C-alpha cells in the first residue's frame, strides 16, 4: 500500500462549521480512513469552508460513511462518558461542603 505522501487525495466534503468538520474527520479516521483537512481557519473569526480530502481509492467508503447518520449512543453510555470526562478534568459536581463555603464567601 502506498504511503499517505504517495497517494492521490480527492475532495469528499465541505462545511463552514468547525465542529461539523471535526466530527466528520473523526468519523472517517475511526474507520481507518486517512483525512487531510484544508481551509481550517485559526482565530475567533473563521471564514470560508473546511474541506476534507481522502485517498482516491477510499473515496466510495468515505462518502458512504459521511452520507449515513452517525450511530446513536445509548443514554447510559453518554452518562458514563460524561462522568469519565469530569473525572479526567478533576472537576466534579459541588458537594454540600463546597456549597457552604461558597455561601460563606458571598455573605462576607
Q: Note the pLDDT tens digit of each residue in 35-89.
A: 999 886 656 666 678 999 999 999 999 999 999 988 888 899 888 888 888 876 6
Domain definitions of the chain by residue range: 1-71, 73-108
Q: Is the pLDDT of residue 26 over 80?
A: yes
**More confidently predicted of 34 and 2:** 34
CA distance 41 to 50: 8
Q: Which fold has domain 1-71?
A: Alpha-Beta Plaits (3.30.70)
Q: The C-alpha cell of 31 is what?
A: 474507520
Q: The C-alpha cell of 96 is what?
A: 454540600
What does the radius of gyration of the chain's CA atoms come to, in whole angstroms? 21
pLDDT at 9: 97
Average pLDDT over residues 16-45: 86
Quickly list DSSP for 64-91.
HHHHSPPPP--HHHHHHHHHHHHHHHT-
The model's pLDDT over 87-104, given as tens digits with 9 standing for 90+, comes to: 766 665 545 555 555 555
What angle in degrees, to the nearest 10, is found between the helix axes of 18-30 and 59-67?
120
pLDDT at 4: 58
Amino acid at each position: 500500500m502506498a504511503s499517505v505522501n504517495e497517494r492521490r487525495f480527492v475532495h469528499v466534503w465541505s462545511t463552514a462549521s468547525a465542529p461539523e468538520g471535526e466530527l466528520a474527520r473523526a468519523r472517517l479516521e475511526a474507520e481507518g480512513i486517512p483525512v487531510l483537512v484544508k481551509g481550517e481557519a485559526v482565530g475567533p473569526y473563521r471564514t470560508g469552508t473546511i474541506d476534507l480530502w481522502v485517498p482516491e481509492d477510499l473515496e466510495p467508503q468515505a462518502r458512504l460513511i459521511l452520507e449515513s447518520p452517525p450511530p446513536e449512543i445509548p443514554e447510559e453510555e453518554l452518562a458514563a462518558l460524561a462522568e469519565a470526562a469530569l473525572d479526567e478534568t478533576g472537576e466534579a459536581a459541588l458537594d454540600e461542603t463546597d456549597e457552604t463555603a461558597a455561601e460563606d464567601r458571598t455573605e462576607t
